[in-house]
Amino acid sequence: METDYCVTRKHKLNKIIKKPKENEPDLLVLIRQKVSDVNKIVTLGYQLLKAYYLYRLENNKSLPLINTKFIGYCLKLVSIKINNKGPKSNNTIFKDLKLYYEKYFKKNVFANIQAPYTDLSYILSYSNTTILTAIENNIKFHFTKRLSKFLNIVFMDSNIDKIYMKIQITKIKNDLLNGTETAGIEYQKWIIDNRRFLLPNIKSKIKSYHYDIKVNPTNYLPGMIYMNNYIESMNGMQFHCFPLRKNIVPKYIEIDTCSLIQLTATKGSNDKLKNLKIEKPIIWNQYFNIENKVFSSNKTVKLDDNSIGSYKFHGNIQTDGIGVSIRLSLSYFKDGEWVKYRKRKKKKKTQDAEFPYLDELDDNKFNEMKQRKKVYIDPGKNNIIYCIDDKGQEYSYSTKKRLNETKRLKHNKIIETYRKKNGVEKLESKISLESGKTTNYKKFMNYLKIRNKVNSQTIDFYNELMFRNMRLRTFIETDRSEKKVVNELEKLYGTNCVLMYGDKNIGKQMRNLISSPMIGFKRMLKRKFEVYNIDEFRTSCLDYRTTDDNLIKNKNPTVKCMKDGQLINKKLHGILVSQILRKDSIGSFLCYQNRDRNACLNIKALVNYELEKGNTERPY
């Protein structure tokens, strides 16, 4: 269990804003308007950034460096200019971008999906960072997966053995990224010819491409575009090289003290911005009920220097005009005021893993683990978690239970019915004529023409407060359901237990199954319990009593059911059938058991084996 250096409280915005006094702006109305304006600007900003980048690439012109400054130029250009106030940019990049916007992009923009830039400079500075993070994370987490997909399409041949080709494709990928020559000779020429299109030249050969992708992710955009263009030419399923905001329901914006002063601008606002330390408590007290309990916490934390810290509000909220997230930072009392506590960074040769494996523990921690109460968890799709301890006490949190408690299907049905009733679904069906994933410049501009025309017809519909109310309600129900899980685990197993969690990794969303919580759910459990990763390879398909002796014989049972008027055989994935040899007589019998329970017992066997033997060699 780790110390949280920042916690967030969720509440309704109208419950914490004070009613406006005479000659004061109605802050609630003002914030809702700015939320809508920022949503319009950011939606168009994403589009301009991608269109300009593709235009420069297609015309063999130098590519812009994507950073917060460049993103700020994009957001400024797509907004409506009310006056000529503000600093003028003589930057060459800005001039080129402006020329492109006026000549090519502007004709695809409708007046009612634009918004003024007025009083938004501080708020949009946070949006710049959010957009850059979205672009970089898309590359960091997906580049190597996209490379694998590209190589599969290039080399996979139905006339060649699949297993052989998979091995060769893996070697080709490693040769590209590591500069080795492990793939067959027939592939080396292709690797040499195509590396320059797929990967940038890294200055330091000491650092690998895996490292460079994390440090300089935007350098890999041309390679992603090259791969996507090839996949498109082969009529394959494309991927997003650039994130786009397709859902135009207004999103959360971040408001700090400077933003609040700018929004409620009066005479002397510039003086207030120069004296933030003095003005911060005054302006927040003027417009918000700071005495409300959501702005403080009674929880105390022992800090590194043995002083006592507490969570305090330091002037930062996020809101969509309906819900509000109030950020409380861990603070300590110094010189008559609460000061943010800065975590002292310790110099470490290696970074600690977020969820370590047993073999990564030091000797003291490893020996301590032998005495601790352990709970073995198998994560999955039908059962989000299935748990069992050494006493055989079981607990499961199923997808069905989550859907029921979060009211997710109910909320989705309400929104879907409302969209159909207002003809929005029919309007949005036109967008499917073009793909937003394309990296062909002309095709993307055709997509924008259709997308923005539909957006101009539906923008007022999605600005209705109902959609944001529904989002807040879904969050509250989901949070309540997950906290209930933690409380039930604590009640059943106690707080001193450690969770041995299977290291499931689902690469992409599986068809015909709802999305289920992954790393976020695991981190939520970590706030209350110690969580360790366990290699769960083959734990669900091997009978925990026979291990790999019965691997081929283990299977899923089938039942007959009707589908589309036809009788079909359907596999029951949740039930594992094993063939067990009889001890006292010749022959065998079939054993039916819960697949998730079997996986938990396999995980238990693996943990006990590793703790007893003291090595990482798997028994099966």
Please write the tens of the pLDDT for every residue from 415-426: 999 999 999 999
Neighbours of 92 (CB within 10 A): 8
pLDDT for the residue numbered 249: 96
Q: Are strands 253-256 and 308-319 parallel, antiparallel or unpaired?
A: antiparallel
Question: What's the burial of 46, exposed, middle or buried (CB within 10 Å: 0-12/13-18/19+)?
Answer: buried
What digits encode the pLDDT tens for the residues 258-287? 999 999 877 666 777 778 888 888 999 999
pLDDT for the residue numbered 107: 87
Looking at every residue in the chain, the average pLDDT score rounds to 87
3-state SS, 174-217, equals: HHHHHCCCCCCHHHHHHHHHHHHHHCCCCCCCCCCHHHHHHHCH
Q: Are strands 588-594 and 337-340 parallel, antiparallel or unpaired?
A: unpaired
Give the least confident one: 131-135, 262-266, 351-355, 602-606.
Answer: 351-355
Question: What's the burial of 489, exposed, middle or buried (CB within 10 Å: 0-12/13-18/19+)?
Answer: buried
Mean pLDDT of the 347-365 span: 76
Is the per-residue pLDDT at 345 higher than 70? no
Residue type, 276: L
Q: Does 275 or 445 have the greater pLDDT score?
A: 445
Q: Does 347 or 590 have the greater pLDDT score?
A: 590
CA distance 79 to 54: 21
Is the per-residue pLDDT at 350 higher than 50? no
pLDDT for the residue numbered 347: 47
Do residues 248 and 43 lie in contact, with contact meaning Cβ atoms separated by under 8 Å?
A: yes
Is the per-residue pLDDT at 359 higher than 50? yes
Mean pLDDT of the 565-585 span: 68
Is the per-residue pLDDT at 243 higher than 70? yes
Which H or E run includes 460? helix 441-462
pLDDT for the residue numbered 585: 53
What digits encode the pLDDT tens for the residues 142-185? 999 999 999 999 998 767 888 888 899 999 999 999 888 898 88
Q: Which residues contact 141 (CB under 8 A, 6 or more apart)?
A: none
Which H or E run includes 41? helix 27-58
pLDDT for the residue numbered 343: 65
Q: Which stretch, 227-236, 544-553, 580-589, 606-615, has highest mean pLDDT?
A: 227-236
- Provide the Cα torsion 169, 171, 172, 177; round to 10°: 130
pTM of the model: 0.88
Give the least confident one: 20-24, 341-345, 485-489, 596-600.
Answer: 341-345
Is the per-residue pLDDT at 85 higher than 70? no
Q: Which stretch, 103-112, 204-213, 375-384, has highest mean pLDDT?
A: 375-384
CA distance 325 to 302: 25
Do residues 23 and 300 lie in contact, with contact meaning Cβ atoms separated by under 8 Å?
A: no
CA distance 44 to 172: 39
- The candidate with the shortest Cα–Cα distance to 200, out of 211, 187, 209, 190, is 209
Is the per-residue pLDDT at 87 higher than 70? no
Neighbours of 508 (CB within 10 A): 6
CA distance 596 to 22: 63
Which H or E run includes 7? strand 6-12
Give the least confident one: 130-144, 313-327, 600-614.
Answer: 600-614
What digits encode the pLDDT tens for the residues 523-561? 999 989 999 999 888 888 888 877 655 544 556 677 777
Residue type, 329: S
| Residue-by-residue DSSP string for 497-525 | -EEEEE-----SPPTTS-----HHHHHHH
CA separation (Å) from 64 to 49, 73, 198, 591? 10, 12, 18, 63
Q: Which residue has the tokens 């009978």?
A: 543
Q: Strand locations in 335-441, DSSP E?
A: 337-340, 374-379, 383-389, 394-398
CA distance 200 to 220: 7
pLDDT for the residue numbered 435: 93
pLDDT for the residue numbered 89: 64
CA distance 63 to 65: 7
- The candidate with the shortest Cα–Cα distance to 113, out of 163, 43, 54, is 43
- The candidate with the shortest Cα–Cα distance to 242, out of 323, 136, 345, 381, is 136
What digits encode the pLDDT tens for the residues 108-138? 888 788 899 988 999 999 999 999 999 999 9
Do residues 280 and 2 lie in contact, with contact meaning Cβ atoms separated by under 8 Å?
A: no
Is the per-residue pLDDT at 619 higher than 70? no
CA distance 333 to 307: 9
- 590 in helix, strand or coil? strand
Is the per-residue pLDDT at 583 higher than 70? no
pLDDT above 90 as % of the chain: 59
Instruction: Return left, alpha or beta for 587; rule: phi > 0 is left, psi -120 to 50 is alpha, else beta.
Output: left
Mean pLDDT of the 599-610 span: 92
Is the per-residue pLDDT at 253 higher than 70? yes
Rg (C-alpha) for the chain, rounded Å, is 28
Q: Where are the alpha helices (DSSP H) in 247-355?
A: 257-263, 269-274, 276-287
Mean pLDDT of the 233-255 span: 95
